[in-house]
Structure 1
Amino acid sequence: MLLFGGLYFESSHRSFNRHSFDCLSALDFPILKTLPHFQTILQNGALVEKVETIYPSITYPCHTTIVTGNFPGRHGVINNTLFQPGRLSPDWHWYRHSIQGTTLYDEAKKANMTTAALLWPVTGKANIDYNMPEIWTNRPWQNQILRSLLSGSPRYQWELNKRFGHIRNGLKQPQLDEFVLESTVYTIKTKKPHLLLVHFTDLDTQRHYHGFSSKEAIAAIYRHHERLGRIIVALKEASIYENSTIAILGDHSALDENKAIHLNFLLQQQNLISAGPNGKINNWRAYCKSCDGSAYIYVKNKHDSEVLDVVRQLLDSLILDDESGIESFITGDEARAKGADGTCAFMIEAKKGYYFLEDFQGEYIKTVTQQDVTIDKKYTLATHGYSPKKIDYTTIFMAAGKGIRHAIIPSARLVDEGPTFARLLGIDLGKTDGRVIKKILEDD
C-alpha cells in the first residue's frame, strides 16, 4: 500500500502506497481532474470530495492522525513544535515517542509486513524497516547527515543519499521533493514494501511563500502530477502494480493571510511575560503558543485565577475589536472536546487574513509583504492551522487499486482514513476516533 502524500500497500505481494501531498485542497480538484495520472486514479478508484481536517490543522498533528485514526488530544502530537517558550527555533515532534498509542506502521510490523517511510512526519526512531524520517538541524552544533542517519535506517539512508543526494539543495523546493521521488521509485523497485508512506511538501512550501493560488503553487500541483506518474510506472516495472493500492491525500488546506498577530506582546504588557537584558524570556505566567491559524494559550499555574481572569478579560476585549485579528476563543475543556490539547487554558482562532506568531517584542500586528517572506522565512502569505469549520478549507482523498471500488462520496474526516487503511491492510488500530469509510471498499 502506498500513501502518496500517500500510502502503498501490498499483500502477498500486495502493496499499499500512501502519498501525502501536503496542503492539497479540495479546491484543487478542478485542476487534478484534468491531469492524466490523477485521472487514472479517479477513473478506476474512489474519491472523497471533501475531507474535514483536525484542530489544529497543521502538518505533524494531521499526519499522526492519518496513521492513528485519532485526534491530536488523544494521540499526543498536539502541535508541530514542542512547548519551549521564547526559543526562536523550537524543536519539532520529530520522534515516534511523541505518539501515544499504536500506528499503521506499528501494526503492519506486528503482522510481519515490510514497512517504509520517506519524510513522513513523527517517524524519527520508529520501528520501520526502511525509514528516512523528516528531521533537520535547528542548532548550529548539529550535523544534518548524522542526525538523519541516527534517527532512521542508517544504511538505507546512506544508499539514498549516495544515489540521489546530488538532487537535493537543503530543504529548498522543488529539489527536496525530487529527491524524495527518486528515493520512492528506488524503494518500490528494490524493497517492495507492503506499506510505504511518502510525504511531499512542495505544494505546501509554495503556498506558504507565494500564496494559495499563486503561479508557484499551481506549478507544484503539475509537478505532483508528474511525480504520481513516475510512481505508477515504478509499480508496473516492479511487477506489483496489479496488487497495489495507491492512496493520495492531503492533510489540510490553506488560507491566504498577510497579518501576523503577536499576542505575547500584549501578555508582556500585562506583566505575564518577562525578559532579561539579552531579550530572552526569563519567566512567564501565560504564553501564546502558535499553531499558525490558531493558537494555544497556556497558563503556568492552572489554578492561578488572577492570571486566568486577566487573560480572559484581554481576549474578551480583543473579540470586540474588529482590528484585533482574533475571531473567537474557547476554553481548554472546549478545545479537548474538539480533539485539541485540553491542557491549554484557552485556544484562539484567527480571522481570515491573519495568523499567529510567538514574538513578544515589537508590535501586536505586523503586515507581511513578499519582501518580508523573502528575507525571513518565519513570515508567510498563506498558512493553515485554522478551525476545520472554516469555509473552503477542506482537503481531499482519492485511492485506487486492490480493495478499492469505484465510488464518489461527498465527505469524510481525516480521522477516518487511518481505520480505512487498517482495514485494507488487514490489521487493527483498536478503538479509534475515526471509522472505516466503507463505501469505498470492495469488501463492504
Structure 2
Amino acid sequence: MKRLTDHLIVISFDCLSSLDFPMLKELPHFNELLENGSYCENVETIYPSLTYPCHTSIVTGNFPNRHGVINNTFLQPGMHSPDWYWHRKNIKGTTLYDEAKKQGMKTAALLWPVTARAKIDYHMPEIFANRPWHHQIPVSLWNGSFFYQLEMNVRFGHIRKGLSQPELDDFVLESTVHTMKTKKPDLLLVHFVDLDTQRHYHGFSSKEAASAILRHDNRLGRIIDALKETGIYEKSTIVALGDHSQLDHSKAIKPNVLLKERGLIYVNPKGKVIDWKAYCKSCDGSAYIYVKDETDSETKRMVQELFDYVVQDENNGIKRVISGEEAFQMGADGNAFLMIEAQKGYYFKEYFDGEYIDNITANDVKERRYTFASHGYSPKKDDYQTVFMATGKGIRPNVVIPSMRLVDEGPTFARLLGLELGKTDGKIIEELLKM
C-alpha cells in the first residue's frame, strides 16, 4: 500500500471540544493549521467517553467492547485508588504503533494512554505511582524507554512539578520538541492533559480552561516551528484532535450507597469492602453495574428492580438504565449487568458511605474528592462532540468533513502511513486524503 506521508505527528489535546472551535479559529497556530488543512468539528466520541478507552479507540479504530479498554480504571471494589489500564497488554488486537514498528518505522509516544511496556522506540508512557511505596520516576522508567526518559528528565525534569498542570504538559512539550528535532520519528503520538484538568477542577467554561486553550495554541506553535527548523515540515502530516468533551455538574450520585443498604456490598467495621454481590463502577457521566456471580438471579432481580425504581424520579440523578447487551451494542462492556447514565448536572462516584447524593462544594473539589465537570457520558448527548484537524503531506486542503467518529481516526492514520489495522469498527476518511 502506498505511503502518503513520511512523518505523522498526532497531537491529542485532551477534552478539546467542538464548543471550543470558534476560539480555535481566532488563535494563531490553530488558525494556521485550519487555513492550510482540513477539519471536522463534529466528531462523535465513544461510550464510555473516558480518556483511556478514547485513546485506545484512536489507535485501534475499534470500540471498547472490541479493544478491551472499557474504562479508565479496573473493577477493584472498595480500593481507594484503583489501578488504571496503563499497559499495552490490556489492548486486544493490534495498534497503529504496533503496525508502524512491524514495518521498521521509527516510533515515539509521550504520555499516550495505555502504552506502558509497549514496543515503541522513544517512549514516555502515561503511568502513575499508585502505591505508597512507588516513586514516579522509577515507575515511568521501567514501563517505557529507560535511557530516553532518563535523558528527557535530565534535560527538562526541572520544569515538572509532579503531576500538576500546566507544568507536566510543559515538560512533555519540551521533550516532544527535542524528540522531533533529534529523532525525527515516522510516527509520533503526544497527549496533553492541561485543558482536561482545568475543566475538571474549575468547570467547562472557566477562565482556567480558556487559559489552557491559549497554552495549547502555543504548544501547537512550538511543534510546528520544530518541524520547520528540522527541515521535515513539508514531508510531515500534523493532526490535532480531541478525545471527548465535558459537562458541568453540581451533584455526585453514589449508587453503591443503595447497594450497600440492600446487603449487596459487605463492609467491615473499619469501612473496608470485604465482599460484594453487585457493585457500581463509575465512568463519571455513566456507570457500569456489575453482578459478581453471573448465575445469581436473585441479585440480578434486586438490582434491576432497584434501578427501575430509582430512574423514575429525575431528582435521583439517573437519566436512563440500559441492559448490558444494549451497552455492548453501543460499544461498551457487555459484561456489565446494567449501565446507567447521569442526568444533566450529575455524575457518578463509587463511594458507599454517607448520603446517596452529595452536593459538590468548592472545598470538595479542592480536596480532589469531587470535580466540577466530567466526561464519560453517552456520545449522543447534545453539545458533546470533539474535533479533528489535519494538515500537511497526504492531506487535501480546505476539506470540511460534516461528521465523523473517533474510531475513524485510526484507520485514516494507518492509510497515511501505508499500514493496515485489519477489520475495524471505524473507516478511512478518504475525503481527507491525497491518494
TM-score by length of 2: 0.98
Which runs of structure 2 are paired with 1:265-414 in the superposition (5 Å)? 265-375=257-367, 377-406=368-397, 407-414=399-406
1:198 aligns with 2:206: no
Question: Residues 384-410 of structure 1, C-alpha deviation per residue, up to 9 Å, x if partnerless?
Answer: 000001110000000000100020111
Contact 1:255 1:384 in 2 (8 A): yes
| Aligned-partner residue type, residue 116 of structure 1 | A
Whether the 8 Å contact between 2:44 and 2:385 is mirrored in structure 1 is yes
More displaced, 158-167 or 269-278? Answer: 269-278
Alpha carbons of structure 1 residues 12 and 315: separation in structure 2 relative to 1, 3 Å: closer
Over the aligned positions, Cα root-mean-square deviation in angstroms equals: 1.1
Deviation at 1:12, TM superposition (A): 10
**Could you say what secondary structure the match of 1:409 adopts?**
coil
- Inter-partner Cα distance in structure 2 for 1:91 and 1:319: 30
Task: Check conservation: 1:262, 1:365, Cα contact below 8 A.
Answer: yes
CA distance in 1, matches of 2:384, 2:314: 22
Give, in angstroms, the shift of residue 95 of structure 1: 0.4
Residue deviations 1:209-228, cap 9 Å, x none?
00000000000000000000
Task: Provide the residue aligned with 2:414 in structure 1.
Answer: 422
Among 213, 219, 222, which residue is 1:227 paired with?
219
Q: Equivalents in 2 of 1:275, 1:13: separation in Å?
A: 57
Match of 1:79 in 2: 71
Residues 229-248 of structure 1 aligned to structure 2 (within 5 Å): 229-248=221-240
One-letter identity of the residue aligned with 1:384:
H
How far apart are 1:96 and its partner, in Å? 0.2
Distance 1:12 1:259, change over 3 A: closer
Q: Give SS of 1:288's match.
A: strand
Shift of 1:320: 0.7
Partners in 2 of 1:14 and 1:147 — Cα distance? 33
Aligned to 1:431: 423
Are the aligned partners of 2:4 and 2:434 in contact in 1 as well (CA < 8 Å)? no
Q: SS state of the match for residue 408, structure 1?
A: coil
Say which SS state the counterpart of residue 119 (structure 2) adopts: coil
Alpha-carbon distance between aligned partners in 2 of 1:363 and 1:104, rounded to the nearest angstrom: 45
Q: In the alignment, which residue of structure 2 is the partner of 1:4?
A: none
1:65 touches 1:71 (CA, 8 Å); kept in 2?
yes
1:333-386 Cα distance to aligned partner (Å, 9 max, x none): 1111110000000000001110000001111000111221012x1310000000
Displacement after TM superposition at 1:319 (Å): 1.1
Q: Which residue of 2 aligns with 1:26?
A: 18
Distance in 2 separating the partners of 1:329 and 1:250: 28
Matches of 2:424 and 2:401 in 1, distance apart? 21
Aligned equivalents of 2:91, 2:304: Cα separation in 1: 31
2:58 is the alignment partner of 1:69 = no
Deviation, structure 1 residue 278: 1.6
- Rounded to whole Å, the distance in 1 between the matches of 2:376 and 2:4 is 39
Conserved 8 A contact 1:13-1:240: no
Amino acid at match of 2:259: L
1:15 pairs with 2:17: no
**Whole-Å separation in 2 of the counterparts to 1:277 and 1:62:** 39
How far did 1:13 drift? 8.1
- The 1:297/1:143 distance shift into structure 2, 3 A limit, reads same
Letter in 2 for 1:262: K
Pick closer, same or farther for the CA change 1:263–1:230 going to 2, 3 Å. Answer: same
Report the residue type matching 1:326 in the other structure: I
CA distance in 2, matches of 1:68, 1:317: 39
- CA distance in structure 2 between the aligned counterparts of 1:329 and 1:112, rounded to whole angstroms: 47
SS at match of 1:323: helix
**2:111 — aligned with what?**
119
CA-CA distance at 1:35 after TM superposition: 0.9
Identity across aligned pairs (percent)?
65
Matched-pair contact (CA < 8 Å) for 1:106–1:127? yes
User: 5+ residue gaps in structure 2?
Assistant: none
1:261 maps to which of 244, 248, 253: 253
**Could you report, residue by residue, the CA deviation over 1:251-280 in whole angstroms, capped at 9, with x for unpaired residues?**
000000111110000000110001012210
Match for residue 102 of structure 1 among 94, 115, 126: 94
User: Counterparts in 2 of 1:163-178, with a 5 A limit?
Assistant: 163-178=155-170
The CA deviation string for residues 18-69 of structure 1, in whole angstroms up to 9 with x for no partner, is: 0000000000000000111111111111111200000000000000000000
Q: Secondary structure at the match of 2:234?
A: helix
Runs of 4+ in 1 over 4 A off after TM superposition: none
**Distance (whole Å) between structure 2 residues aligned to residue 363 and residue 250 of structure 1:** 35
Q: Is 1:138 the counterpart of 2:138 in the alignment?
A: no
Letter in 1 for 2:386: T
State the distance in 1 between where 2:4 and 2:247 align. Answer: 43
CA contact (8 A) 1:210 1:370 kept: no
C-alpha distance in structure 1 between counterparts of 2:347 and 2:57, whole Å = 23
